[in-house]
């Protein structure tokens, strides 16, 4: 499994590592311009591999090849639940904090692909021209600017998301590092006590759902993961990470991920993210709608394990009948 390693080898870059036996999908509008996978250069640098710069990859009418099973492989085998479920003697808050940091590490690796500058044009693949809004198909995400929802370009949106996540990770209030008085709660302690997590009555109104409120559908407003070790109730937000994945697929699956034969790594990172998000109920079902066909496919294939569905962590805490 890939847990301890980055999602790609930076020493080799993102150049094609071999011939792709599948015929690359071509959008009718893109067919004259989009390069054939077999015709790609073997240069180790992505910037030298892509001769196109302003190709309109962010086309809401483009075919969604990534929703088809034949275009949805993974480059790993195994059950992602082994990377997701909290070990029995690890404190729950610390474990969830680790999960959030790990998910950001993987997402950051994928975002670097579209942020690498094209050596010919001097522009990244995801730029103001190709992606004037942060969108996933026909859905456009907005950012709060001066108290109002505003449409901003995808590069600006992603940059703000990354800065926001890093700031939260390094915030000792959101991710406490001080020694905690008392006994922090572990999974084994909760199993022994049999204390259930009460169902939440919160109405999902905020599309960016914080864990412990709208994000944790199985958690009550007075009980949340990490409470005993000083983690605040609003300590983790993962919906913004999901929105980045949605944009990567809808706007950049063909260019560059398919063209450089790295779509399987993108799938790997996404499946891991969805497994964590569903197991701990960190992202609402409504938020996941732009990627639901692919999520359903991975659930059908049991890439997202059944134990993670419907809040696997919270389901384990319910008392037996």
Task: Extract the annotated binding site for Zn(2+).
Answer: 126, 131, 247, 252
Per DSSP, what are the bridge partners of residue 148?
Answer: 145
Chain mean position to CA 41: 29
Where does the chain show beta strands of DSSP type E? 134-136, 139-141, 143-145, 148-150
Residue 227: partners with Cβ closer than 8 Å, 6 or more residues away: 93, 185, 233
Report d(CA 63, CA 249) in Å as an integer.
11
DSSP output for 33-98: TSPPGGG----S-HHHH---SS-----TTS--GGGSGGG---S--S-THHHHSPPTTSBHHHHHHH
Burial class (CB within 10 angstroms; exposed 0-12, middle 13-18, buried 19+) of 205: exposed
Residue stretches of the annotated binding site: 126, 131, 247, 252
Residue 102: enclosing H or E segment and its boundaries? helix 92-115
Beta carbons of 153 and 134 less than 8 angstroms apart: yes
Residue 11: partners with Cβ closer than 8 Å, 6 or more residues away: none
């Amino acid at each position: 499994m890939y847990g301890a390693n980055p999602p790609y080898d930076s020493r080799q870059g993102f150049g094609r590592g071999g011939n792709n036996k599948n015929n690359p999908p071509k959008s009718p509008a893109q067919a004259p311009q989009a390069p054939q996978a077999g015709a790609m250069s073997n240069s180790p640098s992505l910037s030298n591999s892509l001769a196109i710069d302003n190709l309109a990859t962010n086309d809401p009418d483009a075919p969604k090849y990534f929703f088809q099973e034949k275009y949805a492989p993974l480059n790993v085998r195994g059950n992602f639940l082994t990377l997701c479920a909290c070990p029995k003697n690890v404190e729950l808050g610390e474990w969830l904090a680790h999960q959030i940091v790990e998910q950001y590490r993987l997402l950051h690796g994928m975002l670097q692909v579209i942020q690498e500058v094209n050596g010919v044009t001097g522009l990244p693949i995801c730029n103001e021209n190709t992606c004037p809004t942060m969108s996933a198909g026909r859905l456009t995400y907005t950012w709060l600017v001066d108290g109002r929802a505003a449409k901003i370009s995808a590069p600006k949106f992603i940059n703000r998301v990354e800065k926001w996540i890093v700031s939260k990770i390094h915030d000792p209030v959101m991710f406490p590092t001080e020694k905690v008085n008392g006994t922090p709660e572990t999974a084994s302690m909760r199993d022994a006590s049999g204390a259930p997590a009460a169902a939440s009555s919160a109405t999902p109104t905020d599309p960016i759902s914080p864990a412990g409120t709208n994000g944790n559908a199985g958690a009550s407003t007075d009980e949340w993961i990490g409470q005993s070790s000083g983690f605040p109730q609003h300590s983790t937000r993962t919906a913004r990470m999901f929105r980045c994945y949605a944009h990567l697929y809808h706007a950049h699956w063909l260019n560059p991920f398919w063209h450089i034969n790295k779509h399987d790594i993108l799938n790997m990172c996404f499946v891991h993210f969805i497994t964590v998000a569903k197991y701990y109920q960190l992202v609402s079902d409504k938020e996941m709608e732009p990627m639901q066909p692919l999520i359903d496919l991975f659930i059908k294939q049991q890439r997202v394990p059944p134990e993670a569905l419907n809040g696997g962590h919270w389901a384990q805490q319910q008392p037996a009948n």
